[in-house]
Amino acid sequence: MEQFRINIRFDGLDADDHVIDMRLFGEAMIGLEKTLSAGLNALATGSVPPRSKLMLAIKATPPRDGCVQLDAVIELAQGVLPILKPALLAAGGAIAKHLISATIKRFGGSRGQSASEVEKVLDLMKVEKDDRQRERETLLGVIDRLRPAAVQMMAPVGRSAEQLTITSANDDDPTVFDVPMAQALRSRSDLEVSEMQPMRLKVDGITVHTRTLKVEDPNVPGRYVTAEVRDPAFTDGENVYTQSVTKMLDVQAKATYREGILHRIHIMDAKAAA
């Protein structure tokens, strides 16, 4: 059976102890299968076939020892368009990775990056210029129906794991999906997630049991927002966070925005400002 595969890995929180919440993990696997099945079958056949006529079968390998990690194996059946079959066999893993990324980023606060991921899929499929707009519209139409699957894929993130990483055998560039993206997916509001960036924050208060700080909006003096601390150092007894009240912190963080206004900050690392 002709096939290709991607690697799926969860890290952080429970996953660091090589376990993960079973219900959330099950949701993630269902969401991954739905996304890969809908997107890859549409690419392979030119349309979205009914589930009884799928041209690609999505299967999972046993989890690997010592981590929350497994492979998704995609098998090609009869019916894949001959013109597309070589591209799937040559770069199927990378195509699958970018398809997952386009779907999660589309609803996870990074629409611009989602569009770039779609173009990467079309490049890898070697879609001719005359067919590109039609194929783009087909793929975007599929992705637009996959928000529930994207939410499922990210179900463990922020609850039982810190991040989901997807890697293909075709390249050495893993794609990481983190808590800010997961929260944007689950939000009823349309949130935008920034790239990781340095920020200088004035801390007004701390709530230890929720691992949050109340900080002044760097762009609007007198306005305060919540900052989640995702840094494992927060639990190390006395640390830069527990000693930060009324002080300035230099942090590496992602910010989420709602209608252009700072909504929440996610701190990954920090040190006392000089």
Confidence check: pLDDT of 51 > 80: no
**pTM attached to this predicted model:** 0.91
CB-CB contact of 7 with 168 (8 Å):
yes
Q: How far is CA 216 from the centre of its chain?
A: 28
Q: How confident is the model at residue 83 (pLDDT cuts 50, 70, 90)?
A: low
The strand pair at 212-216 and 261-272 is best described as unpaired
Q: Please state, for a pLDDT cut of 70, what percent of the chain lies above it.
A: 91
CATH class of 194-272: mainly beta
DSSP 272: E
pLDDT of residue 42: 84
- pLDDT, tens digit (0-9, with 9 covering 90-100), for 247-262: 999 999 999 999 999 9
Q: How confident is the model at residue 45 (pLDDT cuts 50, 70, 90)?
A: confident
Query: 131: burial class by Cβ within 10 Å (0-12, 13-18, 19+)?
Result: middle
- pLDDT, tens digit (0-9, with 9 covering 90-100), for 175-222: 999 999 999 999 999 999 999 999 999 999 999 999 999 999 999 999
Q: How confident is the model at residue 32 (pLDDT cuts 50, 70, 90)?
A: very high
Confidence check: pLDDT of 78 > 70: no
Domain with CATH 2.40.50.140 in the chain: 194-272
Confidence check: pLDDT of 50 > 90: no
Q: Distance between CA atoms of 163 and 124, rounded to whole angstroms?
A: 26
pLDDT of residue 79: 61
Handedness of CA 29, 16, 158, 6 (dihedral sign): negative
Average pLDDT over residues 93-116: 96
Mean pLDDT, the chain, rounded, equals 90
Average pLDDT over residues 78-102: 82
Q: How confident is the model at residue 151 (pLDDT cuts 50, 70, 90)?
A: very high
Confidence check: pLDDT of 1 > 70: no
pLDDT of residue 80: 62
Who wins on pLDDT, 80 or 43?
43
